[in-house]
Amino acid sequence: MVVGWEWIVIILALVVLLLWGPSKIPELARGLGQAKAEFDKASRGEYLSESRRSEASRSSDDAIILIARSLGITTEGKTRDEIIQEIIASIKASKALKSDSSS
């Protein structure tokens, strides 16, 4: 026998079905699932640590670009690893020049 809360759930399901139609219900459920996952992630503190990691990565990328520009290396169209390799090569070349001139 259907009593109390069951009727409320049935009526609520019918109203949702009438308002949005059967094609929108999977999208609504998916959105609710994603919202719940984000809430769970934030409550565990993972959300803040991810944002801190991306912020630290951005600041290290900025530092690499500043170093490259100070050494006269162009950074446009290059990956982070390519820029780092050019910085290393430039530093090695300048060390080699210093050691040759001091000899």
Name, of 2-6, 34-38, 57-61, the range with top average pLDDT. Answer: 34-38
The pLDDT, as a whole number, for residue 15 is: 87
Distance CA 89, CA 66 (A): 16
What share of the chain has pLDDT > 70, as a percent? 83
Reply yes or no on whether the pLDDT at 85 is more than 80. Answer: yes
Distance CA 10, CA 2 (A): 10
Reply yes or no on whether the pLDDT at 102 is more than 70. Answer: no
Element containing residue 58 per DSSP (H, E): helix 46-70
Q: pLDDT tens-digit profile of 58-67?
A: 778 888 888 8
State pTM to two decimals: 0.43
Reply yes or no on whether the pLDDT at 74 is more than 80. Answer: yes
Q: What is the dihedral of CA 53, 58, 61, 66, to 10 degrees?
A: -140
